[in-house]
């Protein structure tokens, strides 16, 4: 295609403001996992949207937070890397939040010092009680930076997502498409499958367990005598024996629910039937182990 355009966009912001939901809504399919718990996203999930001549390459980063272990250090570094290697940043903030948070001020300062164009997305407008509240919030952020655009959205309802996509497309420059036009994500199917399983664990487990969980896909291959069936075997790693019991649940009930919900989403993503088997193992303090982090894909090359 002649006269092609492209733009690299990093979606940044505090934990739990809806960054992954916005990415999934724009792409029309889940590539980033979503939960009500903060710091759900651990790695830079790249999504790709091609509209006619224009290709947008999205980076969905972890929420900016104070790291408490080596995994946290990795997550914060990945945000810095994302901001430094894009054409535009999409700052997602909670429309109903109180004031401008320090982490958002830090990000805005980075936009200024690195001279990066930024779009402000005020998400969760469905939670606001009045239009005046939204106007006040827009004014509050607009005093801090001249944003290329301010887009109110409700990612869960799909409101404002089309407007956001159009605003990002306006900032695309002439250049090649870096991915085939039908590409949805640069992540291997194994990574997406593992993330879907982790999402279900996040939703079903109590607060103290989820952040100490990693999922490793041990096997993923089509059945030899039936190519419309995919066999997937995954191991869920946790940090304590007590957590292992919680994950499995009474008579294996919770693990079975995780498997059922994960299989449905993986089948939708892969567009084939899936035979999913899950195991749970304990690996003490893996979030502070360089070897474990590398084994689970958290390294500088990821």
Assess whether pLDDT exceeds 50 at residue 302. no
**Residue 38, pLDDT score:** 46
- CA 6, 32, 299, 239: dihedral to nearest 10 degrees? 170
User: Best-predicted range by mean pLDDT among 40-44, 108-112, 256-260, 279-283?
Assistant: 256-260
Beta bridge partners of 192: none
The pLDDT of residue 289: 57
Predicted pLDDT of residue 67: 39
d(CA 294, CA 32): 20
Residue 59 is predicted with a pLDDT of: 81
May I ask the CATH class of domain 189-295?
alpha beta
Where helices occur in the chain by DSSP H, the ranges are 19-27, 70-84, 102-113, 131-142, 161-170, 189-204, 241-248, 253-270, 290-295
Query: Would you give the DSSP letter of residue 82?
Result: H
**Per-residue DSSP letter, 154:** B
Task: Please write the tens of the pLDDT for every residue from 115-141.
Answer: 889 999 999 999 998 999 999 999 999
Domain ranges of the chain: 5-174, 189-295
The mean pLDDT value for 283-290 works out to: 66
How many C-beta atoms surround the C-beta of residue 4 within 10 A? 16
Q: What is the mean pLDDT of residues 178-205?
A: 85
CA–CA distance, 90 with 59 (Å, rounded to integer): 10
Q: Determine if residue 8 is left, alpha or beta; phi over 0 gives left, psi from -120 to 50 gives alpha, anything else beta.
A: beta
Q: Is the pLDDT of residue 43 over 90?
A: no
Interval 152-164: pLDDT, tens: 999 989 899 999 9
pLDDT band for position 106 (cuts 50, 70, 90): confident
Give the distance from CA 217 to its chain's centroid: 19
Query: For residue 276, what pLDDT is reported?
Result: 96
**CATH number, span 5-174:** 3.40.50.300
Mean pLDDT of the chain: 82
């Amino acid at each position: 295609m002649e006269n092609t355009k492209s733009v690299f966009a990093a979606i940044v912001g505090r934990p739990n403001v809806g960054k992954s939901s916005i990415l999934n809504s724009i792409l029309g399919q889940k590539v980033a996992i979503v939960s009500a718990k903060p710091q759900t996203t651990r790695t830079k999930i790249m999504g790709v949207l091609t509209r006619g001549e224009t290709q947008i390459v999205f980076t969905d980063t972890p929420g900016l937070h104070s790291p408490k272990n080596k995994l946290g250090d990795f997550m914060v570094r990945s945000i810095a890397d994302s901001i430094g290697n894009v054409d535009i940043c999409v700052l997602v903030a909670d429309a109903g939040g109180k004031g401008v948070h320090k982490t958002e001020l830090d990000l805005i300062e980075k936009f200024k010092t690195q001279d990066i164009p930024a779009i402000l997305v005020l998400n969760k407008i469905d939670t606001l009680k009045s239009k005046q509240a939204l106007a006040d919030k827009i004014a509050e952020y607009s005093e801090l930076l001249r944003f290329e655009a301010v887009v109110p959205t409700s990612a869960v309802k799909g409101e404002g997502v089309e407007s956001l996509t159009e605003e990002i497309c306006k900032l695309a420059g002439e250049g090649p498409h870096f991915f085939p036009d039908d590409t949805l994500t640069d992540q291997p199917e194994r990574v997406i499958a593992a993330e879907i399983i982790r999402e279900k664990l996040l939703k079903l487990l109590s607060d103290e367990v989820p952040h100490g969980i990693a999922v490793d896909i041990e096997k993923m291959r089509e059945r030899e005598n039936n190519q419309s069936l995919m066999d997937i075997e995954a191991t869920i790693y946790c940090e304590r024996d007590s957590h292992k019991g919680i994950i499995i649940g009474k008579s294996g009930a919770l693990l079975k629910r995780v498997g059922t919900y994960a299989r449905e989403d993986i089948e939708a993503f892969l567009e084939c039937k899936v035979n999913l088997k899950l195991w749970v193992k304990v690996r003490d303090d893996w979030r502070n182990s360089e070897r474990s982090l590398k084994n689970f894909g958290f390294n500088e090359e990821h």
